[in-house]
Structure 1
Amino acid sequence: MIPPEFDAAFREQLHTLFAWRRDVRHFRPDPVPEALLGRLLETAALAPSVGLSQPWRFVTVDEPARRAAIRENFLACNATALAGQGSTRAALYARLKLEGLDQAPCQFALCVEPDPAQGHGLGRATMPETVAYSAVMALHTLWLAARAEGLGLGWVSILEPAAVLAALEVPASWRLIGYFCLGWPPQAEEQPELEREGWEHRRAAAALRLRR
């Protein structure tokens, strides 16, 4: 079989997709069609994984009671994080995450099976963390595919993993990678939100490279 060739026009479009990936915090209430979500998960399954173990487990969260439990967990963790800090920036960041939880029509957790039978242990004897890295690769694959469909994705990181796993009643061996909000952003912004808000600025690639 002859592999496909990706011309300059495609490569430019791909670079544009990378550049327009966003960590989205605001969503329209329009639902994400189940067929579209299924297509995104199928694309995520194409991600590389150590030993072809595919250790990721996506848990879609639809029940209002479970979503409420996640929200309460976020509020508790956020209150602890902000206690005594008096940080305007930290408060802003927390508000953005809360808005995502309240608005996103689709929410899911990404978990990892730390010792999957699939893959027969290949490639992770000395670096078992590659299993979690593989799950993150699947998430990033889904993230880019979602952006290509016009969807936005937001990562909610201010959560207590054990409480989230308990609320979702997943197998005891699973570990939480993250909780995510997915939906249609109300508008497209050329500059990422945290940059617009003055939180931080992206550094050039040369500043992040070390030669030896």
Structure 2
Amino acid sequence: MSNQTPEHAFSASEIAAVYRAIYERRDMRHFCGGSVPADMLQRLLSAAHHAPSVGFMQPWRFIRIKSLALRQDIHALVEQERVLTAKALGEREDAFMKLKVQGVLDAAELLVVALPAGREQHVFGRRTLPEMDLASSACAIQNLWLAARAEGLGMGWVSLFAPEQLAGLLHMPPGSKPIAVLCLGPVTAFYDQPMLQTEKWARRAPLHSMLFEDRWDQPLAPPPDTPVQAARDV
């Protein structure tokens, strides 16, 4: 870390806490029931609502699922898509089917994140990139995720569902679209590393393979006096 501290930096302990939340956040699939206190849930949703958004459009909507019957219906949709996804994976079908999505039933809270109707009226920042409504909502989800980790709660993002069917279950208006089912609540432990890495499904790519300078085919050189291996490990 540089010895030059910017004027508006947090304290060293506050900076460390931010990075800890980032590096210890996990996409959780195992929950242990329990509950999320109402004031804590409100803090998490407020953190989500303070995310940046293109043109300050604030395109996120959160639906809290309280009905057990509705949870079960959502879980059925997820299971339906899980089977279809497995078949689409071909030779990896059996390995994929071992990855359960029980958090929809087991987590203390279930939230659906959706994009509202009428998003086309927000032109600022979206004229050539209309998908920035989705990108902005992803920022809100990440805010919630990091805040949840800091509060000691696990969260998992489920995207295995047919949007039209889930929208129908939730009586959403035409033009709106669900983008995430979030499982949130206490967990027995956080994974030491991403679960899909533990399951040997994929590994985190090295950072240096994704950094470029000026043009796509020009890798970004590591900072001066930085050993190449150390730069790759950061």
| TM-score calculated relative to the size of structure 1 | 0.89
1:106 matches 2:109: yes
Structure 1 Cα separation of the partners of residues 9 and 86 of structure 2: 51
Task: Report what 1:75 is aligned to.
Answer: 79
CA contact (8 A) 2:111 2:183 kept: yes
Task: Report what 1:199 is aligned to.
Answer: 201
Structure 1: gaps of 5 or more residues: none
CA contact (8 A) 1:156 1:178 kept: yes
1:178 matches 2:180: yes
Which letter maps to 1:71? H
Superposition misfits of 4+ residues, deviation over 6 angstroms: none
Q: What secondary structure, in the 3-state scheme, does the structure 1 residue paired with 2:110 have?
A: strand
CA contact (8 A) 1:54 1:135 kept: yes
1:21 matches 2:19: no
Count of residue pairs brought into register by the alignment: 206
1:5 to 5, 9, 18: 9
Q: CA deviation at 1:75?
A: 1.8
Q: What secondary structure, in the 3-state scheme, does the structure 1 residue paired with 2:98 have?
A: helix
Structure 1 Cα separation of the partners of residues 205 and 183 of structure 2: 26
Q: CA deviation at 1:179?
A: 0.9
Q: CA deviation at 1:51?
A: 0.9
Q: CA deviation at 1:149?
A: 0.3
Q: What secondary structure, in the 3-state scheme, does the structure 2 residue paired with 1:201 have?
A: coil
Q: CA deviation at 1:61?
A: 0.8
Q: What secondary structure, in the 3-state scheme, does the structure 2 residue paired with 1:138 have?
A: helix
Identity of aligned residues (%): 33
1:36-115 matches, within 5 Å, as: 36-83=40-87, 85=90, 87-93=93-99, 95=100, 97=101, 99-113=102-116, 115=118
Q: CA deviation at 1:117?
A: 8.6
Which letter maps to 2:96? A
Q: What secondary structure, in the 3-state scheme, does the structure 1 residue paired with 2:155 have?
A: strand
Name the Cα RMSD after superposition. 2.0
Structure 2 Cα separation of the partners of residues 76 and 154 of structure 1: 18
Structure 2: gaps of 5 or more residues: 1-6, 216-234
Structure 2 Cα separation of the partners of residues 25 and 161 of structure 1: 21
Structure 1 Cα separation of the partners of residues 41 and 111 of structure 2: 11
* Structure label with greater radius of gyration: 2
Q: CA deviation at 1:124?
A: 1.4
1:100-139 matches, within 5 Å, as: 100-113=103-116, 115-116=118-119, 121-139=123-141
Q: CA deviation at 1:4?
A: 5.1
Task: Report what 1:153 is aligned to.
Answer: 155
Structure 2 Cα separation of the partners of residues 107 and 164 of structure 1: 14
Which letter maps to 2:21? L
| TM-score calculated relative to the size of structure 2 | 0.81
1:143 matches 2:149: no
